[in-house]
Amino acid sequence: MVIIPAIDIKDGKCVRLAQGDFDRATVYAENPVDMAILWAQQGAERIHVVDLDGSVAGEPRNSGKILEISRQVQVPIQVGGGIRSRETIDYYLSHGVASVILGTSALKNEQLVRDAGSDYPGKIILGIDALEGKVAIRGWTQKTEETAIDLARHYEGCGLKAIVYTDIKRDGMETGVNIEATCELAREVSIPVIASGGVAGIADIEKLMAIPEFPVYGVIIGRALYTGAIALEEAIRKSRC
């Protein structure tokens, strides 16, 4: 299982939100590039980067910082937030970003997702952010009636690299990963699943690794790394046991 440290960017700074609430942001670094370098030095195999401002605006707002991260570290980065056009997908993937995450587009522009998956096989990630099992879009500001599983099934066979499944209620709260919902999604689709939201400590890594029949591809860790509740190097060692 791949351990993926998260870097969320708001107003050019590295922050963490609580339950996706932009009014509950904590700044952890003035320059997110410094955090990316630190995670790379500590052994990260992949880094998750989100343009929070872009997710609300519907187009990139921190692309300069993101591309600087891609230049400064040798670790592959996956980027989400405001990626809702083919031009943005092409831009990121042609400037060193390893994978782009499409969330709102999955509900609003199906053809964009399918075409991108076909043209960039293994480089497109489906971002599914769920609130009580229902998908939320536009930076988590709009809840829909679409279930996470139904949306994921819709994109089977489209060349997607993975699904990032985030439980919004747990995100940034360090209350533990939603093992049940993550396992259910992994069981229902053939696309690899990356768990996100709520990692509180090593116990969450152990629980995810203990899912025998439907292994989780990776887990994104945010606030727990920044507060020191979990050490990246320790999490990586545990994931390799």
Place of tokens 């997710």: 55
Instruction: Measure the CA–CA gap between 10 and 47, rounded to whole angstroms.
Output: 17
Q: Which residues contact 228 (CB under 8 A, 6 or more apart)?
A: none
Q: Which of 8, 167, 171, 204 is catalytic?
A: 8
Q: Which residues contact 22 (CB under 8 A, 6 or more apart)?
A: 10, 52, 56, 139
The reply to whether 167 belongs to the active site is no
- Do residues 189 and 153 make contact, with C-beta atoms less than 8 angstroms apart? yes
The reply to whether 34 belongs to the active site is no
R_g (Cα) of the chain, nearest Å: 16
Q: Which of 51, 129, 167, 171 is catalytic?
A: 129
Which residues are annotated as catalytic? Answer: 8, 129
